[in-house]
């Protein structure tokens, strides 16, 4: 990943990809206190556009606020940096990774001289959970790892350290032959995937867990809006794993995962065991929106 051509925005300037380095005493590397985003840009008829750039940038700043990390740049500067990371690398479509981290100014939990640094990289990333799975759906497993408790780490922050839990759950699911994990909250209710929000469909109504211990996903927000615009009722509520077993359809949403159908949980096939009709409708509209084919939602696009 680090040995390639290209440019990465680091602390205000574009630097060659191979030279975008930090010291081994980088504080965030030791303790995980950092905040980041995952953003996508798509090739539209009118040029490459970043989807919901403002919302992702707002969430980055909210994450930093929760973690009490001072932000060294304004939202405008970081939005420009994200556009530049796509443009200056000549990417038509991209996954964009902004991150804010503490440097090597100090060490130890008591360090009081830390400075926040910022980077933005962008590269090409196709379907995160596999192209054919976008139609076929994925097989998932209830994780033995519990999702974060709201008072242990901060679930509203997209914080680096939170992803240890995601990686433990995902690695376990992959090693057991599944495509993704489904994490339950501390009370045993469905929370989310390792990097996706969760939805099920039952009798024509869409259900999704509330945000107590799940990230406030921007794709989730998009799905809620699109479903409402399509006249499909959506309810946020606590969901048990056995409600998923007997659901008609289920899917994950996320910037990387986009809208990925789920065909099986814990070896119980969901509905017809393939992408369901409501999932298909939402997935298709989602792609129309991000590729700029749906006039009504053009405000969500920022051309680079």
First to last CA, the chain: 24
Distance in angstroms (rounded) separating the CA atoms of residues 125 and 93? 8
**How far apart are the C-alpha atoms of 86 and 93, rounded to whole Å?**
8
Catalytic residue (one of 21, 43, 65, 158): 158
- Tell me the closest approach of the beta carbon of residue 12 to ligand PMP, in angstroms: 25
296 in active site: no
CB of 170 to ligand PMP, least distance (A): 10
Of 7 and 285, which has the nearer Cβ to ligand PMP? 285
What minimum distance in Å lies between the beta carbon of 273 and ligand PMP?
Answer: 25
Considering the complex, what minimum distance in angstroms separates the CB of residue 205 from ligand PMP?
21
Round to whole Å and give the CA distance between 230 and 212.
26
**194-232 b/e (C-beta count within 10 Å ≥ 16 → b):** bbbbbbbbbeeebbbbebbbbbebbbbebbbebbeeeeb
Cβ atoms of residues 71 and 62 within 8 Å: no
Which of 121, 195 has the CB closer to ligand PMP? 195
Tokens of residue 178, six digits:
């599944």
Of 93 and 219, nearer to ligand PMP (C-beta) is 219
**Closest by alpha carbon to 37, among 20, 50, 22, 26?**
50
Greatest C-alpha distance within the chain: 57
Residues that bind ligand PMP (CB under 6 A): 38, 158, 166, 192, 195-197, 214-215, 217-220, 253-255
Whichever of 28 and 253 has its CB closer to ligand PMP, that residue is 253
Which residue numbers are catalytic? 158
């Amino acid at each position: 990943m680090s040995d390639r051509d290209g440019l990465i925005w680091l602390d205000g300037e574009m630097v060659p990809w191979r030279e975008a380095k930090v010291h081994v005493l980088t504080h965030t590397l030791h303790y995980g206190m950092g905040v980041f985003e995952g953003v996508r840009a798509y090739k539209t008829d009118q040029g490459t556009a970043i989807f919901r750039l403002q919302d992702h940038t707002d969430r980055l700043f909210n994450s930093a606020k929760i973690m009490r990390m001072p932000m060294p740049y304004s939202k405008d500067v970081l939005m420009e940096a994200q556009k530049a990371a796509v443009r200056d690398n000549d990417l038509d479509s991209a996954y964009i990774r902004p991150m804010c981290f503490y440097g090597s100014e100090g060490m130890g939990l008591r360090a009081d001289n830390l400075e926040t640094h910022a980077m933005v990289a962008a590269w090409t990333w196709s379907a995160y959970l596999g192209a054919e799975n976008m139609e076929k759906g994925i097989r998932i497993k209830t994780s033995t790892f519990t999702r974060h408790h709201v008072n242990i780490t901060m679930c509203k922050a997209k914080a680096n350290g939170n992803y240890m839990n995601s990686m433990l759950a995902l690695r376990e699911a992959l090693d057991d032959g599944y495509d993704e994990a489904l994490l339950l909250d501390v009370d045993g209710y469905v929370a989310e995937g390792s990097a996706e929000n969760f939805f099920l469909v039952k009798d024509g109504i869409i259900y999704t867990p509330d945000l107590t211990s799940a990230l406030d996903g921007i794709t989730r927000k998009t799905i809620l809006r699109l479903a409402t615009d399509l006249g499909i009722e959506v309810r946020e509520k606590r969901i048990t794993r056995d409600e998923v077993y007997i659901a008609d359809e289920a899917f994950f949403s996320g910037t990387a995962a986009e809208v990925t159908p789920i065909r099986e949980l814990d070896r119980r096939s969901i509905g017809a065991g393939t992408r369901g009709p409501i999932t298909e409708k939402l997935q298709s509209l989602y792609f129309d929106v991000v590729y700029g084919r749906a006039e009504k939602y053009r405000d969500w696009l920022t051309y680079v």
